Amino acid sequence: MNKEINLIIKQEYVDNYKNGYPLLSKESILDLNILGCEGSVLNLVDSKNKFIAKAYHGIQNKGYGWILSLKQNEKIDVDFFKTKIKEAIKHREDFFNSKDTNTFRIFNGEGDGVGGLTIDYFNGFYLLTWYSIGIYELKSDILEALKQSVDYKGIYQKKRFDSKGKYLDDSDDFICGDKAPEPLHVEENGVKFAIYLDDGAMVGVFLDQKDVRKTIRDKYAKGKTVLNTFSYTGAFSIYAALGGAKKTTSVDLAKRSLPKTREHFSINDIDPDTQEIIVEDVFNYFKYALRKKLSYDMVVLDPPSFARSKKHTFSANKDYVKLLKEVIQITNKNGVIVASTNSANFSMMRFSDFISQAFRELKIKFKIETSYSLPKDFRVNPKFREGDYLKVVFIRRF
């Protein structure tokens, strides 16, 4: 463990940190030159050298570190992380006891008290994701804490940074224990997914949409034609098909989406040849669908916060209204649009404004039927609203 460093915080930020705000911002630090190396443990103090909180230095997005404790004498060691992990596991007891789900998040960054780190569970295997060099420097203590806290088949990691703090795909994902089969079959609400723990940055499914997928299967899909855009490995389509959808159409630009989606249909005993899987720029597909007068009973719109193809650049903050207007035009009357975003840059209220604007500009009436944010296993720190990034709205189009 690196030597602890006293870091003076500007007075106007002191109360925020005392009240539980977890992200150490650049603007709050009086002198950046004494931060030291990433991974350093920091004692945040005010101008009178009075203790505020204990943090670590790790550059991630707009932050320079994360608060770990409000206790001055807290040691940031194996026991500290072990306590955090065990408390996080206790919060997920229902998931561990589930008969039809064996994949979920057991540790969600600042929501569980350690920003910059997530741990996901895949049927006995654990995946740690490090979001900064700083948290990765604390790896040995965190890994030992995890080993002491759980029974595991194997442990993997993803390093989502490089020397400049950017996202990185890495090849040394396996850490210890037994290697997982490829693919590793897991279940979520009784639906099977094929997971690849050592195959790039993504494993094959986004776990934060579990409640949304279940709602589509249980309440909306039966007898409907469903278009799943930005479909990745087809998770929404699989749920829709299992819910009795008449037909699903999955569209994604990535070439690997085709075999991955077919694989997911197959392991759920659905003939992929009965479904439509299209490798195409989604923006082009919308124009094609309008030209061919195609329409659907349900459209799932879950774009990344930012996307770039050869001809299009998309930013959720700037372009969601335009994208939603295209979706509305290919949704049947009385149909449903599942509008989703994982952008942390705006609130659910602003997202609702985007929806209202799109329908208003097209002079089409609508009704919001239900909405979702992050599920229980994606625990959120109430003092850090940016962490509750997921916004999903089920919209009835009239």
Q: What angle do CA 289, 292, 294 make, to 5 degrees?
A: 55
CB 213 within 8 A of CB 191: yes
Cα separation, 79 vs 364, in Å, equals: 57
Cα separation, 376 vs 380, in Å, equals: 9
Residue identified by tokens 């925020």 is: 16
Cα separation, 208 vs 159, in Å, equals: 19
Q: What is the pLDDT along the chain (398 residues), one digit of tens a residue?
A: 557 899 999 999 999 999 999 999 999 999 999 988 999 999 999 999 999 999 999 999 889 999 999 999 999 999 999 999 999 999 999 999 999 999 999 999 999 999 999 999 999 999 999 999 999 999 999 999 999 999 999 999 999 886 554 445 555 799 999 999 999 999 999 999 999 998 878 899 999 999 999 999 999 999 999 999 999 999 999 999 999 999 999 999 999 999 999 999 999 999 999 999 999 999 999 999 999 999 999 999 999 888 777 777 777 888 899 999 999 999 999 999 999 999 988 899 999 999 999 999 999 999 999 999 999 999 999 999 999 999 999 999 99
> Which domains are assigned to the chain?
5-69 (2.30.130.10), 78-189 (3.30.750.80), 206-397 (3.40.50.150)
* Measured CA distances, 243 to 200, 248, 388, 394, 396 (Å): 31, 11, 28, 17, 19
| Helix (H/G/I), strand (E/B), else coil: 67 | strand
Half-sphere exposure of 69 (CA within 13 A, CB side): 15
Q: Which helix (H) or strand (E) holds 91?
A: helix 78-91
* Measured CA distances, 329 to 47, 299, 324, 383 (Å): 58, 11, 9, 39
Q: Which two tokens stand for residue 136?
A: 């990765």
Cα separation, 45 vs 373, in Å, equals: 35
Residue identified by tokens 């299209």 is: 278
Pinpoint the alpha helices (H) of 132-224: 133-136, 139-149, 210-215
Question: What is the Cα 141 distance to its own chain's centre?
Answer: 25
Cα separation, 132 vs 234, in Å, equals: 30
- Amino acid letter at 137? E
Residue identified by tokens 């408390």 is: 87
Pairs from 344-351 (Cβ < 8 Å, separation ≥ 24): 344/305, 344/386, 344/387, 344/389, 345/305, 345/316, 345/317, 346/316, 346/317, 347/385, 348/373, 348/391, 351/320, 351/391, 351/393
